[in-house]
Amino acid sequence: MSLRATLRVNPGSKFRFKNFDPGFHGHYESEQAAKAEQQHNLARISDLQRKLYGSRTRSLLIVLQGIDGAGKDGTCWHVISAMDPQGVSVHGFKQPTPEEADHDFLWRVHPHAPGRGQVSIFNRSHYEDVMVVRVHKLVPKSTWQQRFDFINEWERLLTQQNDTVVLKFFLAISKEEQLARFKERLVDPARQWKISASDYAERDLWDDYTVAYEDALNRCSTKESPWYVIPANNKWFRNLAVSKIIADTLEDMHLGLPAPTVDLAEIRRRYHAEVKAGAADNKRDKNSDKNSDKKRDKKRDTAAAKS
Ligand code: AMP
Ligand code: MG
pLDDT, position 239: 98
pLDDT, position 284: 82
pLDDT, position 296: 75
pLDDT, position 301: 76
Environment class of 24 (CB within 10 Å of its CB; exposed 0-12, middle 13-18, buried 19+): middle
pLDDT, position 307: 64
User: Which residues approach ligand 1 with their CB closer than 6 A?
Assistant: 68, 93-96, 124, 128-129, 132-133, 196, 198
Closest ligand to C-alpha of residue 69 is 2
The ligand 1 atom at the shortest distance from the C-alpha of residue 194 is 3
| Best CA proximity match to 175, nearest among 17, 28, 30, 7 | 17
150 three-class SS:
helix
pLDDT, position 10: 96
pLDDT, position 297: 75
Side chain identity at residue 166, one-letter code: V
User: Ligand 1: which residue has its CA nearest to atom 21?
Assistant: 95
pLDDT, position 85: 96
Q: What is the mean pLDDT of each run of 10 residues along the chain (307 residues)?
A: 95 96 96 96 97 96 98 96 97 98 98 98 98 98 98 98 98 98 95 93 97 98 97 98 98 91 95 94 80 76 71
Q: Ligand 1 centre and the CA of 134: distance in Å?
A: 12
Q: Computed from CA positions of residues 115, 121, 123, 125, in that sequence, does the dihedral angle turn out positive or negative?
A: positive
E strand spans, 112-203: 119-123, 164-172
| Best CA proximity match to 220, nearest among 259, 172, 167, 268 | 167
pLDDT, position 292: 74
